[in-house]
Chain A
Amino acid sequence: MRTILFLLQKEFLQIFRNRAMLPIIFVMPLIQLLVLSFAATFEVKNTTVSLIDEDGSTTSRRLVEHFEASGYFTVVHRTFSTAEADAAMQRGDVRMILHIPPDFERDLRLTGTAPVQLILDAQDGAAAGVVQAYAARILTAYSRDVRVDFVVPPPDPVAQPVIDVVFSHWYNPDLNYQFYMVPGILVLLVTMIGTFLSSMNVVREKEIGTIEQLNVTPIRKRDFIIGKLVPFWILALVELSAGLVVAKVVFHVPMLGNLWLVYGLTGVYLVGMLGLGLWISTITETQQQAMFISWFIMVVFILMSGLFTPIESMPGWAQKLTLLNPIAYFIEIMRRVLLKGAGFWDVQAQFWALVTFAVILVTLAVRQYHKVSA
């Protein structure tokens, strides 16, 4: 037991002695949390518009006002030539062209229907889809307003029955995207600290040669591994606490669930991720390799974790692959516990998955590590 204490003391000394690393361990993650949470949004605001209004009537002008009043669109360019509008889009000055044809008002008044043309810059397909949905909503709302202006009689209620849709968005009525992202980003921070630092640690001893000195001491393998894992486990939990404070104070993320449950589950998760880091560092020879392999695994895990894009949207084979991804489970847990107040029994399945990962990864690392260097 005393050996472990000395080892822990040594590891902490090494961590705190490296002045350049301290801000990176403690300050960078919080900056990342702030930046990522503000930046990582799929909401589409401020779509720049080039307007071709060939009608020039009151109705067409009011339509444009509706677009601008929505807050999603800003007309930055007005022209009567489609070529000019196209050039503006080619330069990247505008993301949408709104083309109102001549006789728009007259057609609407006489036949009850008129077209408008929307040309979207669809390089970002998803964003273009969202913009299209906004535009469609504005057009529908405007059609309703125009009906009042034109004194078109309202439809007969029995011939035109109405299905009244009442909705409510639970857990996040204002659809605040940050509430969704922040718990996921917390996972990212904890994971980065756990996996990257632990994966580089043992390799560093190998590279500098101090591993030989450790190998010839009477330290037992078990003590050595515990001594390597515990410091980062503690660091990551400290990191989590700081992250939770920022989430509460800056982003006002609702925390409905039990925080002890969050810590308990993080503890289990971290054992697995630290085991992964340690395993990587036992199979590699240089820090560069270790870092590269962990970076590679992280990128694949994060992309497939449902952090940015929903897992349900993936094709079947990809969804099956996410069953092997500890980050996916943990993000699910954090979101459910923090945002929806899920209790232990609700996340039981994920909990057991994390335990399984922890056991497998630590076993792998322990078996791979030999006190004799080849």
Chain B
Amino acid sequence: MNAFRGFVLKEFYHILRDRRTLVILFGMPVIQLVLFGFAIRNEVNDVRVLLVDPSGDYVTQAIKSEVLASPYFEGVGHQTREIGIERTFQKGRAKEAIIFEPDFAHRLAHEGVARVQVLTDASDPNTANTILAYTTSILQDYRRRLASGPPGGVRIVPEVRMRYNPELKSVFLFVPGLIALILMLVCALMTSITITREKETGTMEVLLVSPLKPAQIIVGKVIPYLVISLAIVSVILTLARAVFQVPMRGSLTLLMLECLLFIACALSLGILISTRSRTQQTAMMVSLSGLLLPTVILSGFIFPVSSMPVPLQMVSHIVPAKWFLIIVRGLMIKGVSFADIWQETLVLAGMTLFFLAVSVRNFNDRLA
């Protein structure tokens, strides 16, 4: 047992001595939180718009000033003739062009209809769609104010309530994903690389002939990363709470237990990868493309799983992070109890057992 303690201590020294990696391990979640919290927005703002107004009368002036006053638009140019729009789009100077027809005010007053042409640069379809909606609503609001007399027709008024996240902050969505990502990174990637490194540099043989049992070597390698990842999770949770006011509506103890389960799952994946790969490079590329990318892409971290094509939704079922995200979001944002998430927990536990069994078998075959 004493030898084992010494071994764990040695591993800790290894990690603590490597200042650069340590700084990154703790700095990365912080920087990502800050980016997701302050810099990265899904909504569309300050779209550069080109106004083409051959008419130049009081109505078009009024509409133009409303467009420019809204937070969604930023004027980049104003011209009276419809030329050079293609070039403007290709140069990326504007993403939308609003073109009024000549004699706008006159037609509106006498014929009751005036035409506006809206061109969008739909190479970014989401933005195109959103800014078209903004433009239309500005024009319709203006029209409604012009109208006199009672409005015709019927109107169904939607009363919308945004549950769990009334201010629609994107950081609510990202914090759970960030926890999953960092845990995968530290537990699976770092573990797989350290163990493979011993193999690559040949020191694994030295360890194996030492009085330590193979299982102890693996456990000793894993413990420091477990401690570090728990520390990182606490840092993320504290920051999320203190700086971004992400709620913690469910039980914190349960959340920590679920984190431990996910850490166990990630560690067993890391061991599995390290038993199968001979060089650090292989271990790293397998972890990157086999674990981290699915965690980012297929877990619902950024992109909603329900919008994906069915085959990908199937694949997402075998991504552990997907289940972990449902659990963490439920606990933090929705405040669910264990009764609502026991199925997800069971899936995660099952996966962990499976990976652990496979890696133990592999390990016995290949190392000892």
Interface residues of chain A, those whose CB is within 8 Å of chain B, are: 18, 20-21, 24, 28, 31-32, 35-36, 38-48, 63, 89-92, 95, 108, 112-129, 132-133, 135-136, 139, 142-144, 146-147, 150, 152-173, 175-177, 179-180, 196, 200, 204, 207-208, 284, 286-289, 291-293, 295-296, 299-300, 303-304, 308-310, 312-315, 318, 321, 332, 335-336, 339-343, 346
Contact = CB atoms under 8 A, between A and B. Distances in A.
Given A18-B279, A310-B127, A90 B158 contact: no
6 contacts: A35-B298, A112-B154, A122-B168, A129-B43, A204-B280, A340-B123
B341 to A, nearest CB: 9
Contact of B165 (A36, A116, A125, A312): A125
Nearest to A40: B303
A39 B298 contact: yes
A166 B115 contact: yes
Contacts of A164: 113-116
Name the interface size band of chain B: 35 or more
Contacts of B173: 123-126
A35 B154 CA distance: 45
B335 to A, nearest CB: 8
B153 A152 contact: yes
A303 B35 contact: yes
Contact of B108 (A114, A163, A321): A163
A125 B89 contact: no
Interface of B: 18, 20-21, 24-25, 27-28, 31-32, 35-36, 38-48, 74, 87, 89-92, 108-109, 112-129, 132-133, 135-136, 139-140, 142-143, 146-149, 151-170, 172-173, 185, 190, 193-194, 197, 200-201, 277-282, 284-286, 288-289, 293, 297-298, 302-304, 306-309, 312, 315, 326, 329-330, 333-334, 336, 340
Contacts of B193: 287-288, 291
Nearest to B116: A165
B114 A310 contact: no
B361 to A, nearest CB: 20
A44 B307 contact: yes
Given A24-B286, A165-B118, A180-B125, A159 B149 contact: yes
A167 B119 contact: yes
A32 B340 contact: no
Given A143-B156, A163-B114, A165-B136, A117 B161 contact: yes
A91 B45 CA distance: 34
A155 B148 CA distance: 11
A112 B157 CA distance: 10
A133 B133 contact: yes
B284 A167 contact: no
Contacts of A32: 289, 293
A177 B126 contact: yes
Contacts of B128: 169, 172, 175
A289 B197 CA distance: 12
B152 A118 contact: no
A108 B44 CA distance: 34
Contacts of B309: 38
A303 B40 contact: yes
B45 A163 contact: no
Given A162-B143, A339-B123, A342-B90, A125 B42 contact: yes
